[in-house]
Structure 1
Amino acid sequence: MRHHDSPAHALDHRPSSLHAAAELGSALREAGIRVPLARHHAEPQPGRVELGPLPPGEASRLARLVRTGTKRTLKAARALRDIVDAYRLDLPGIQVRDGRIALGSASPATAERLARLLGATPPGPDTPAAAPLEAARVGERLRLAFAAATDGDALDVRVQEAEAETAPDVEPVLALGSIDVATARRLVAALRF
């Protein structure tokens, strides 16, 4: 028997069941795969694929396989996070979700700055310099600048208003939607120094 096949060696490197399940669940969510990790069903459900009990090592290997398949998306998200950080844009919500890159949300000031970095012209001369940024107007400017900078790709931008009763002084934020890998790459290229 080879040394690395010994039971003592296998126990040293085997992840716990809890860790392996969390790792698998995370990898599947990043890939956009919805697989409930149920303990046991009495009988299989028609039209469903069940994951039976997996040894922790197998669950870890499946997680690595899924992550290998989503490597391009994860790499594009990392490149986007890096360039956003280089410009010091406040976009902490960039993450891989459902096989796409979710951009999270932004304040109107951050969205305006991003729009300008993507080529939007400053607001017209009739807009006072001290005027607060109206979220819907900024969202439209960002949509147009994004499409121009990424060869016509659309960005879903929605205004999320705070409830007046619970937070009357809270500024609205813009939910920026998600993009695919190719669009993320074009966005990174458009933002290069």
Structure 2
Amino acid sequence: MPHSCSSRAGTPTLCAKDSLSLLERSRSREDLPVVSSGTSARREAMSASDAPPSAARRANMARVGSKDTKPELIVRRLLHRLGYRYRLHRRDLPGTPDICFPSRKKVIFVHGCFWHRHDGCKRTTTPKTRASFWEDKFQQNVVRDRANMERLSHLDWVAMVVWECETEDLEELTPRLATFLREDP
């Protein structure tokens, strides 16, 4: 059992001695297949690109939400300042639009550039690990977004997409939103 060292705040922390013993235990080779060559058994068992995400990575990804994101809050505050009132996340409409104007039959999607693949944006990157998984996931997102836009159009709703990177320039975004909401469908 690891002993605890005290930090300045008096809370117990792991010291270098404890981390070394934890590392040694995590490297136990009892669960790995025996490999005859001199290469590492762990490398043979699983390559880095096939490895499941670490617990920390999983926790970070789990915190990524689909509602009340920073770009969405920026757009909502801007619309409110312009005098528009709206409904949020109408689940009865295709794609569950972020912002909905029922009387105008208009919706706004606030898309993250990474998740929804904004063409030409610096945020549209692909993780190096498990690249094929991510490519498939991103492709499914794009196909689903297109299908939702078509379904909204068939229901006589007009949709606008605001990209995450566009929320950085409010002087350019404000007139776009005002024009979109003023126009008759």
- TM above 0.5, one fold? no
Higher Cα Rg, which structure: 2
Q: Which has the higher contact order (CA 8 A, sep 6+)?
A: 1
